[in-house]
Amino acid sequence: MDLKNIKQGNLSFTGKKSKNKPKKLNKSWTRITAIVLSVILLAYFVCALTAGIGIYAYRWDNKFSQALSKIFPYPAAIVGSEIITMDTLNREVGYIQYFYEKTAPDQIPEYSIIEKQVLDRLVAAIVVKKLASANGVGVDNQEVDEQFDQIAEENGGEEKVSQILSDLYGLDIPTFKRFIKEQLLQEKLKEKFDDELQLQVKARHILVKVAPDADEATKEAARVKAQGLLDQINAGADFTEIAKAHSEDEASQGQGGELPYFSKGQNVKEFEEAAFSLEPGEISELVLTQYGFHIIKVEEKRGNINMTFEEWLESEEESLWVIRFVARDEDLSSSESVENGENIEGETTEGQ
């Protein structure tokens, strides 16, 4: 078919490349589009910058700033590779404010106090999630549903719980279930930490009592007695039998001084430091505490994290790249803190 002879209306198909008049029009439209987009982007960034200055520098707290934080993803904090947005922070602060407005409108804490406690909780939730993932701990939807069903059963049914959540917190059930999931995850992580991860010691001890305010002669007599028992043990006497015969700790004497597994924070400092410094099979020198003189024999150790659960979480947070853009005041007086504010989600879970 000869394209040169095909005509359609006033448009002739000659098979030859046309003069590029339409392309001039295309270039014009491209230029116009670029200008329009530039103006829009400039307006966007100016608006974002202005709102950002208001939110960060002047701490705007109104419906306008909250609406802007939904449009522009301003970060409230960065935790490792995760971002806590201002929108998320504002929304969760709002739950607590709503609760106070409904229950104690004359006792609403300052916004900055609530904000800091909420941001601390959001950061901690990310830390827990990371540690849980690293240690094979998870919570599935079935566990969440079972926990919710139990709460509903104990509080008049799902409809009643939904009404309470809405009336007191401005919460819906999906958001409440998210709080349940966070709480369950932390509980399961702590359970694994207590059972497997935390450094724990199984030991025996012999106690020779002496009061902290005893005179020097009495203290010296107790020390001499304890040293004599230690000398016998070092000479080959059986620790268990010496404990049964001479220890003055009534709770463990009958078991040869045997103590259950214990971890950091469960004993007085001096006893704890001595016990954790020993390897299985080793026996301490005399250890003086507020109770008297101890001789400690470590039998077993398990776990490898010599911290409390709270210290472990704090240590993990410190190891992450955490930047807070708001709520950075670390000197808030404890007397100003929200009454039970740190457990507001816990209250929601347990109090419904």
CATH code (residue 97)? 1.10.4030.10
Give the model's confidence band at 52: pLDDT under 50 very low, under 70 low, under 90 confident, else very high. Answer: very low
What is the predicted pLDDT for the residue at 249?
96
What is the predicted pLDDT for the residue at 10?
41
Tens digits of per-residue pLDDT, 165-206? 999 999 999 999 999 999 999 999 999 999 999 999 999 999
What is the predicted pLDDT for the residue at 90?
86
More confident residue, 319 or 35: 319
- The CATH number that applies at residue 226 is 3.10.50.40
Same domain, 122 and 178: yes
pLDDT at 209 over 80: yes
**Cα–Cα distance, 157 to 173 (Å, whole number):** 12
Q: At 22, phi and psi to the nearest 5?
A: -60, -35
Tens digits of per-residue pLDDT, 71-100? 557 788 999 889 999 889 988 998 999 999
Give the model's confidence band at 37: pLDDT under 50 very low, under 70 low, under 90 confident, else very high. Answer: low
Same domain, 245 and 293: yes
What is the predicted pLDDT for the residue at 352?
38
3-class SS of residue 128: helix
What is the predicted pLDDT for the residue at 3?
37
Residue-range definition of the domain harbouring residue 253: 199-302
| Residue 192 resides in a domain | yes
> Which whole-number Å values give the CA distances from 53 to 63, 66, 312, 329, in the listed order?
16, 14, 36, 19
What is the predicted pLDDT for the residue at 75?
85
Same domain, 82 and 187: yes
What is the predicted pLDDT for the residue at 328?
59
Residue range 229-256: average pLDDT?
A: 96
Same domain, 243 and 295: yes
What is the predicted pLDDT for the residue at 33?
61
pLDDT at 28 over 50: yes
More confident residue, 44 or 199: 199
Q: How many domains does the chain have?
A: 3
Same domain, 218 and 260: yes
Same domain, 184 and 286: no
More confident residue, 220 or 6: 220
Nearby residues of 205 by Cβ (< 8 Å), 6 or more positions away: 243, 247, 249, 252, 257, 259, 271, 294, 295, 296, 297
Same domain, 115 and 243: no
**Cα–Cα distance, 227 to 246 (Å, whole number):** 12
**Cα–Cα distance, 352 to 116 (Å, whole number):** 25
**Cα–Cα distance, 301 to 263 (Å, whole number):** 10
Same domain, 213 and 180: no
Same domain, 43 and 186: no
Same domain, 185 and 285: no
pLDDT at 253 over 90: yes
